[in-house]
Amino acid sequence: MATNSVTESTSGSQAPSKVLTRMRQAVTRGGVAYAATYATRLALERLIDRLDLRLISTEQRRRIVEPWAISSRRYTVADQKNIYNEWDWSHGGEEWTLSPEWKQRIIDELMLPHMPQGGQLLEIGPGAGRWSEFLQTRASHLYLLDVAEQSLAACRRRFADKSNIEYVLGNGTRIPLPDQALDGVWSFDVFVHINPVNTRAYVHEIARVLKPRAFAVIHHPGPPEARVIRPGSRSDVTDAMIRDFAGEAGLTIRQFSDYRDVVSVLQHS
């Protein structure tokens, strides 16, 4: 699944003409004193936006991942639920596929070597099932975990004739499965929209539910300076943070940057 920018403040990005129109309306409707106070508030919002961006830059550089960090206020579970429960899933999620060749390369080079045939597999954030349709053919049992009810509903419709899929509504940080239950975990176009604190929780959960020597394949943002999509469309997670999380959770990690953003292949050591 993917998204446009979330939890971005609107004040700093408004076109000058819109701001001018709003100020004229403020004067007309509220008077000069009201308009002056309103303008002060807009200026403070813009200042806070700039301060937040500076703080987030430091958080990324110094790998500050805490519930009180500014990055934890963005790309939240509530944001994702709101976006994907309103999303038009009629395109099956293929609006984020760069080309058929690109998609096939991901399947051949990342999915097939790491998601074993006949395994118990999990996909985090299936969207409308664009990767699930391939995972389903490999899995003896496939769990589809999402925070958005409408995403799971779209998958239920798409795979109504499949008996090896289980649909799981998640809370955005926990994988509600037993320890060492899975032969593989897959997630693409999802962790690019999850904040650092929740990503850390997921990585630790992935380590808990994977069987020994099993793999997880996770697509996520790379270095801040290498964001390939327009600014604001990727969360504040970095590839270095993912390496930290993997180390904390006792996972080995290999990272690849030639599929879009970064893909980490995690495995129990």
Residue 226 lies in a domain: yes
Domain boundary among 49, 73, 97: 73
Torsion of CA 189, 191, 195, 196, to 10 degrees: -150
Are both 171 and 38 inside the same structural domain?
Answer: no
Neighbours of 232 (CB within 10 A): 13
Mean per-residue pLDDT, 9-37: 79
Report how far residue 223's alpha carbon sits from residue 5's, in angstroms, rounded to the nearest whole number: 18
* Domain span holding position 51: 11-73
Domain boundary among 73, 100, 120: 73
Q: Give residue-wise pLDDT tens across range 94-153.
A: 999 999 999 999 999 999 999 999 999 999 999 999 999 999 999 999 999 999 999 999
Q: What is the rounded average pLDDT for all residues in the chain?
A: 91
* Percent above pLDDT 70 for the chain: 92
Residue 5 lies in a domain: no
Residue 3 lies in a domain: no
* Percent above pLDDT 90 for the chain: 84
Q: pLDDT category, 19, cuts 50, 70, 90?
A: confident
Are both 175 and 247 inside the same structural domain?
Answer: yes
Amino acid 15: pLDDT: 67
Are both 22 and 133 inside the same structural domain?
Answer: no
Domain boundary among 40, 58, 73: 73
Q: Are 126 and 162 in contact (CB under 8 A)?
A: no
Amino acid 64: pLDDT: 97
Q: Is the dihedral of CA 94, 100, 105, 108 positive or negative?
A: positive
Are both 102 and 229 inside the same structural domain?
Answer: yes
Are both 218 and 253 inside the same structural domain?
Answer: yes
Are both 127 and 68 inside the same structural domain?
Answer: no
Q: Into how many domains does the chain fold?
A: 2
Which of 11 and 120 is assigned the larger pLDDT? 120
Closest CA relative to residue 183, chosen from 147, 138, 146, 145? 138
Are both 88 and 60 inside the same structural domain?
Answer: no
Token pair 């030639």 is at which residue?
258
Are both 100 and 51 inside the same structural domain?
Answer: no
Are both 51 and 105 inside the same structural domain?
Answer: no
Amino acid 9: pLDDT: 37
Residue 83 lies in a domain: yes
Mean per-residue pLDDT, 223-238: 74
Q: Write the CATH number for 82.
A: 3.40.50.150
Task: Compute the half-sphere exposure of residue 9: CA atoms within 13 Å on the CB side of its CA.
Answer: 16
Residue 59 lies in a domain: yes
Lowest mean pLDDT among 14-28, 38-52, 204-218: 14-28
Residue 129 lies in a domain: yes
Are both 65 and 122 inside the same structural domain?
Answer: no
Q: Note every long-range contact of 224-228, with CB atoms under 8 Å and residues 24 or more positions apart, other chains counting.
A: 224/57, 224/60, 224/61, 226/257, 227/261, 228/260, 228/261
Q: Are 149 and 85 in contact (CB under 8 A)?
A: yes
Q: Give residue-wise pLDDT tens across range 60-81.
A: 999 999 999 999 999 999 999 9
Neighbours of 220 (CB within 10 A): 26
Residue 199 has pLDDT above 70, yes or no: yes
**Predicted structure pTM score:** 0.89
Are both 33 and 82 inside the same structural domain?
Answer: no
Are both 56 and 143 inside the same structural domain?
Answer: no
Residue 2 has pLDDT above 50, yes or no: no
Lowest mean pLDDT among 4-18, 103-117, 249-263: 4-18
Q: pLDDT category, 17, cuts 50, 70, 90?
A: confident
Which of 173 and 10 is assigned the larger pLDDT? 173
Residue 236 lies in a domain: yes
Q: pLDDT category, 258, cuts 50, 70, 90?
A: confident
